[in-house]
Amino acid sequence: MTVIAVSGLAREANIARRAKLTPVVGAGDTELLETRLNEAIRNGAKGIVSFGIAGALAPLLQIGDVVVATHVVHGEEHYRTDARWSEHLRAHLPGAHSVVIAGHDQIVSHVDGKRRLFALTGAHAVDTESHVAARIAAEHAIPFVVVRTISDLATQGLPPAALLPLRPSGKPRLTQVIASAVSDPSQIPELMRTGREAGRAFRALLRSRNALGLFLGCPYLG
The Cα–Cα gap between 155 and 57 comes to 8
Range of the domain at 105: 3-217
- Whether the CB-CB separation of 48 and 66 falls below 8 Å is answered with no
Residue 213 lies in a domain: yes
Q: Where are the alpha helices (DSSP H) in 43-155?
A: 83-92, 111-121, 130-139
Residue 222 lies in a domain: no
Residue 37 lies in a domain: yes
- The confidence score (pLDDT) of residue 200 equals 98
Rounded to the nearest 5 percent, the helix, strand and coil shares of the chain are 45, 25, 35
Tens place of pLDDT per residue across the chain (222 aa)? 699 999 999 999 999 999 999 999 999 999 999 999 999 999 999 999 999 999 999 999 999 999 999 999 999 999 999 999 999 999 999 999 999 999 999 999 999 999 999 999 999 999 999 999 999 999 999 999 999 999 999 999 999 999 999 999 999 999 999 999 999 999 999 999 999 999 999 999 999 999 999 999 999 997
Give the domain CATH number at 117: 3.40.50.1580
- Whether the CB-CB separation of 163 and 108 falls below 8 Å is answered with no
Domain count, the chain: 1
Residue 179 lies in a domain: yes
The Cα–Cα gap between 130 and 148 comes to 10
Residue 23 lies in a domain: yes
- The confidence score (pLDDT) of residue 222 equals 73
The Cα–Cα gap between 9 and 129 comes to 10
Element (H, E) at 190: helix 188-212
- The confidence score (pLDDT) of residue 60 equals 96
Enter the pTM of the model.
0.95
